[in-house]
Amino acid sequence: DFSSETIAGLQSLSQKHNFLIFEDRKFVDIGNTVQKQYHGGALQISQWAHIVNATMLPGPGIIDALAQVASAPDFPHAAHRGLLILAEMTSKGSLATGKYTELSVEMARKYRGFVLGFVATRSLADVDTAAK
């Protein structure tokens, strides 16, 4: 079972072996709810996960909400938190293509200080957006 001991063990291993902890949570909700899921509740993900991921389906507010938690003045881990945007998927019939992918890249460029990259099927460096 996941507990505070699990978190402490993961953090200890992370420091000892110099690796980052990635919580593959795929946040996908309105800003206020995402903030509560990320920073509150039983899991308190923001306290131990260096990297999380989110989909852009709710719009750019989801990045704003997560970034607000990670950059709050009283948050001690701000320099060690980041986001991967779910920009593409390989599943048949996926809607994470075209304009959705372009928006994902645009938001990543807007939030360069918090967004680390993408979950995608290819490099997105050459995707043309209005926010270059």
- Which residues are known to be catalytic? 24, 26, 29
Q: Which amino acid is at 25?
A: R
Spatial CB neighbours of 37, under 8 Å, sequence gap ≥ 6: 25, 27, 29, 43, 45
Dihedral pair phi/psi, residue 56, rounded to 5° = -90, 5
Residue 101 annotated as lining a ligand binding site? no
Q: Quick one: how far is CA 13 from the chain centroid?
A: 22
Where are the alpha helices (H) located in 40-132, listed in sequence order?
A: 61-70, 98-110
Q: Where are the strands (E) in the chain, listed by range?
A: 22-27, 51-55, 82-86, 115-119
* Contact predicate 77/46, CB 8 Å: yes
Residues annotated within the binding site are 90
Residues annotated within the binding site for substrate are 90
